[in-house]
Structure 1
């Protein structure tokens, strides 16, 4: 099939030929052209949408359908067709695919490998499990709140033996009530904002606040995936933890994870799973940008741990107004994208901003 050939090229590129992570293809998320453009392109049983979120194209299709369903309510985000904050999620899923993070890390199957089913998302993948909470859960909430069509019910397929994840709205609400209620609040806020007389800048900031609150609630709920980290090298686990930690900063700053911004932040992510002995900024087969990003992530995690969680709390306190959140977004861009930006200045600026709130 054509998409397997495309994926093979992307995986080869990510493994050896390219100097950064592969997150877009022809200006869109990976294999976007092969995803469902309407509900009826996905499995439906007895009137219930029954997608397989362990198939990459199904999970990516859910993003495509959710973006299309919510776009009419996203006018305050900007005039571009890719200004919705949801675009960060399919780009992230594409990065996980091309970097090998959705494949079976146990070696017990060829799920997700070039030698097996390249579209398979392993239920043993920590990355695939964590991503489930920011794909399946928001889609279930969007459907419940009427965005996907009147009365549409969704039941996610789940392989036998996977008992720590939920499959429908009622199940997810019972098992992960905080995450689901936060997604409900976002989608309800999206409807309300569409009728609000407030300026677009205020509506955007408020909606992004609701969006990131829901994202973080999903991230906290995904702690049920943690046992799967035992399948990975310690260096990859450390990166995974620092990656989760970085979300605290973008969340508090109400980062607008549209297509353009998300590509900037994801392209320097590591294009393969880290192995024992990998030590940034001196990993020879990763680009300078990838090494820099890994160093910054590790520094932010280490600084926060040394300070007993104070750095994240200080940052959260500093992001107390639309004005400081705008400054915060600029600082994050400098920190992650400008290798000459000194980390010590980040600490001093954040401390100053927090005391002024």
Structure 2
């Protein structure tokens, strides 16, 4: 099941596109945008150099304001008033950090960043704003270096924090020396912006490559700062970094309105040790659900390893190597492709996404390209039944009167079309796995048929709790359930049960499934099965 990460994407899509009426763009600006410096002359000058203090909120925000202003000309062809400038994500994220208290001193040893005290102070002990420093100073100094600001590289200097000055860089030459890869990637972004012909997708590729260099180049340097936070907040920080990698892979456009609306779903304050999503009382439902989804996505990303290259001929998917890569040799993620691409493109085709069907294209893998489809028209042609069933699901959702059981019927009919329409195409991939893992894959597919017959509702919390019982990693050839030592009892029992169900189903030539489908035709038996499942996992938890 991939409902938790998919839910995160649905929320992103919903939040990012929700705008009512003709917007007044100034209402989307980050806090104190108007009061922040907007040109170099607003900063003090010493010895012919502009002196900027990035440890004061409006001073650092002013760097972003100048950056957005000076790059506006490159985005004028995409929308008026600089709204489509993809650099808006940087100041809006920094503004959210300030507004939510994440730029304040987490140690509480100083008053830095606290309301009614020194609330504009940016703490060098804040993990959030230390990472942000390299998403502000580096883009800013790189744009100076690229010649876009109209001043020479030696005319601007940033002030150091009151402590740990060696962790940062403060001018073009110093940052070139200490962080050459970051400066190189941001410079490449600006050089592409300056080219006579630019494509919006290519702008995003250059932006996210540069953004990734800043994040990956700074994360390891500030890991020690996470100890100043509660476990929920530290976990959220890690989850946020994982999620950003998915934004990178999708070429998410961090424009003004889209980013502003997305940030409505982010936690409005630093998380306390007692906070458990989705039950944080004064967080709104979207904040609770998004927080739970991001943490679930991180755990899924860290745990299973089923998106990695099972042949081990490449580094695709392996930790400390190319861990975000999804292998086209993975049986699991090849099947999942048709539970992601088809629902997604069908939603576009159904008019739910607010864009036309020809406005989105998926990239092919480096091999076996002919096994997949990449856009609405291509998937309609190669997988008409899948597209038809998913479209029927969305059309029913859009109807004025819907019933939850009928929603589930349409969903599972569409889900079944994706699975049955792709299983035979990837059976050859199972040879890359141990026998226990290959058997588990087959058992999982059989079990899903029983979920389908039961009209199991794969809602957020229910699915999250159920997935706790799934194997936490790829099974080795020596694994025998229920005797896998470091699997918990529920994982061992569930694995044994699923394999047993598959063998029983095969021995009865699927007559057992037929009997189950007959039993599940009444709402009473379906409710009873659901209650038994939930009771089992509640006791297990």
Same fold (TM over 0.5): yes
In 2, Cα distance between equivalents of 1:299 and 1:323: 27
Indicate the SS of the match to 1:44: strand
Indicate the SS of the match to 1:148: coil
Deviation at 1:76, TM superposition (A): 4.7
In 2, Cα distance between equivalents of 1:28 and 1:103: 21
Indicate the SS of the match to 1:29: coil
CA 111–57 in structure 1, closer or farther in 2 if over 3 Å, else same: same
TM-score (structure 1 length as normaliser):
0.79
| 1:183 partnered with 2:186 | yes
Task: Kindly indicate whether the alpha-carbon contact (under 8 Å) linking 1:55 and 1:120 is maintained by their aligned counterparts in 2.
Answer: yes
| 1:71 partnered with 2:72 | yes
CA 303–69 in structure 1, closer or farther in 2 if over 3 Å, else same: same
| 1:165 partnered with 2:168 | yes
1:18 aligns to what?
A: none
Matches within 5 A, 1:310-349: 310=308, 312-314=324-326, 323-324=361-362
2:294 aligns to what?
A: 297
Task: Kindly indicate whether the alpha-carbon contact (under 8 Å) linking 1:252 and 1:315 is maintained by their aligned counterparts in 2.
Answer: no
2:280 aligns to what?
A: 283
CA 208–80 in structure 1, closer or farther in 2 if over 3 Å, else same: same
In 1, Cα distance between equivalents of 2:161 and 2:123: 10
CA 59–322 in structure 1, closer or farther in 2 if over 3 Å, else same: same
List alignment gaps of at least 5 residues for structure 2.
1-24, 309-316, 318-323, 341-358, 364-373, 376-406, 427-541
Task: Kindly indicate whether the alpha-carbon contact (under 8 Å) linking 2:112 and 2:121 is maintained by their aligned counterparts in 1.
Answer: yes
- When Rg is computed on C-alpha atoms for both structures, the one with the higher figure is 2
Indicate the SS of the match to 1:26: helix
Task: Kindly indicate whether the alpha-carbon contact (under 8 Å) linking 1:25 and 1:31 is maintained by their aligned counterparts in 2.
Answer: no
Indicate the SS of the match to 2:238: helix
2:45 aligns to what?
A: 44
TM-score (structure 2 length as normaliser):
0.53
RMSD, aligned CA: 2.9
Indicate the SS of the match to 1:49: strand
Indicate the SS of the match to 2:362: helix
| Per-residue CA distance 1:268-308 (angstroms, 9 max, x = gap) | 10001111121111111211110011011011111111133
Task: Kindly indicate whether the alpha-carbon contact (under 8 Å) linking 1:233 and 1:275 is maintained by their aligned counterparts in 2.
Answer: yes
| Per-residue CA distance 1:61-116 (angstroms, 9 max, x = gap) | 00000011111122354344211011111111111111100000111100000131
Task: Kindly indicate whether the alpha-carbon contact (under 8 Å) linking 2:30 and 2:95 is maintained by their aligned counterparts in 1.
Answer: yes
Q: Specify which of 293, 301, 306 is matched with residue 303 of structure 2.
A: 306
2:213 aligns to what?
A: 217
| Per-residue CA distance 1:318-355 (angstroms, 9 max, x = gap) | 89x9611798xxxxxxxxxxxx999xx8xx89xx8xx9
In 2, Cα distance between equivalents of 1:241 and 1:314: 20
Deviation at 1:47, TM superposition (A): 1.9
Task: Kindly indicate whether the alpha-carbon contact (under 8 Å) linking 1:249 and 1:315 is maintained by their aligned counterparts in 2.
Answer: no
Runs (4 or more) in structure 1 with deviation over 6 Å come to: 315-319
In 1, Cα distance between equivalents of 2:263 and 2:85: 16
1:20 aligns to what?
A: none
Indicate the SS of the match to 1:313: coil
Q: Specify which of 146, 154, 157 is matched with residue 155 of structure 1.
A: 157
CA 177–307 in structure 1, closer or farther in 2 if over 3 Å, else same: farther
Q: Identify the structure with bigger relative contact order (alpha carbons < 8 Å, sequence gap 6+).
A: 1
Task: Kindly indicate whether the alpha-carbon contact (under 8 Å) linking 2:76 and 2:82 is maintained by their aligned counterparts in 1.
Answer: no
The total of aligned residue pairs comes to 305
Q: Specify which of 230, 255, 277 is matched with residue 258 of structure 1.
A: 255
> Larger deviation: 70-79 or 249-258?
70-79
List alignment gaps of at least 5 residues for structure 1.
1-23, 328-339
